[in-house]
Amino acid sequence: MVNLNMYPDVHTFNIITDGLCKAGKVKDAEEVMKHMGRKRGVEPNTITYNALMDGYCLRGQLDRARRIFSIMIDKGIETDIISYNILIKGYCKKKKVDEAMQLFCEISQKGSKPNNLTYNTILQGLSEVGRTGDAKQIYAEMLSAGTKPDIYSHVTLLNGYYKYGLVEEAMALFNKLERNKEYTNIAFYSVVINGLCKNGKLHEAHAVFKKLSFIGLLPDVITYTIMINGFCLEGLFDEAKYILRKMEDNGCSPNNVTYNVIVKGFLRCNKISEMASFMKEMDGRGFSFDATTTGFLIDVVRENPSVLDMIPELHSKNKK
């Protein structure tokens, strides 16, 4: 461009800066930004600085990202909601939720307004560190501010409630959303079924699972696998195998995760012969053990080396 006497404008520089930052070359991006003003007389704008902040946040270098944010303020360059969202997300990823909350509160003080992404990021950050009460408060604030929560907002809240054993609160929110017919996709129901299973509420999870056919939703491979895992965790292998066969009858093929879930269940309960049978199925479908299943198997073999003799496939591989 320069050789053709076509000089890059701020938009072109921003594209280059953003590309370098996404590739992890944030130092190079800063050099480009300096080159803009020093040699070309093109002033970096909010988009330029946002790209740099995002680059540093992606690398986990939050101090440098915050330095860029401070430079923007010192130079009188507008910090928009995108600037705040980038930093808030960076802090939440590092579980520095207090710093994220400080920035969140600052948005309103600066006369701006959090958007859906801002709220969702804060909800995620708070939920991950167990501050479910604060997350609930932010959710209430979101509603009162007139920002409509989306499915991600509600899934984040539900996951947080289930993760910390607040099943009643999770189910109250789920029942409210279901009554309002807010969401009817299978991913939403899968979150609820999974949360109930992980909290030992298998009966309730199965009830939600069975409800799917009545509301016209087809379980996908994730939903089936969650339900199979729930039964395996309780040692109910006949029910788990029934769900496995049912999913195939319904035209939903199990995947590698599905089989690993079942094999792990057999290993937990020391059902080696049944595990060997499923190993043959896995092999026939081109599936293999994942790291967790392999770890389970190693622990079982360590305690009882004769297990290898019960699994011909492993025994022959071991000899080789």
| 244 located within any domain | no
Quote the number of domains for the chain.
1
Cα dihedral angle (13, 17, 19, 20), rounded to 10 degrees?
130
* Burial 77-100, CB ≥16 within 10 A → b, else e: bebebbbbbbbbbbbbbeeebebb
Token digits of residue 250: 């319904």
- Looking at the domain assignment, is residue 185 inside a domain? no
Q: Is residue 94 part of a domain?
A: no
- Amino acid sitting at position 50: N
In a domain, 42, yes or no: no
C-alpha atoms less than 13 angstroms from C-alpha of 216 in its C-beta half-sphere: 2
The answer to whether residue 112 sits within a structural domain is: no
Query: Along the 320 residues of the chain, how does pLDDT read in single tens digits?
Result: 778 877 778 888 889 888 998 988 988 888 888 777 666 677 888 999 999 999 999 999 999 999 999 999 999 988 999 999 999 999 999 999 999 999 999 998 887 899 999 999 999 999 999 999 999 999 999 999 999 999 999 999 999 999 999 999 999 999 999 888 877 789 999 999 999 999 999 999 999 999 998 898 999 999 999 999 999 999 999 999 999 999 999 999 999 999 999 999 988 888 888 888 888 888 889 998 899 988 888 888 888 777 777 665 554 444 44
Q: How many residues does the chain have?
A: 320
Whole-number CA gyration radius for the chain: 26
Task: Find the domain containing 306 and state its range.
Answer: 255-320
Tokens for 100, please give them. 């994220």
Residue at 24 is within a domain: no
Max intra-chain CA distance, the chain: 78
Q: Is the dihedral of CA 36, 40, 46, 48 positive or negative?
A: negative
Dihedrals φ, ψ of 290, to 5°?
-85, 180
181 within domain boundaries:
no
Residue 95 within any structural domain of the chain: no
Residue 292 and residue 256 in contact, taking contact as beta carbons nearer than 8 Å: no
Contact between residue 236 and residue 268 where contact means Cβ atoms under 8 Å apart: no
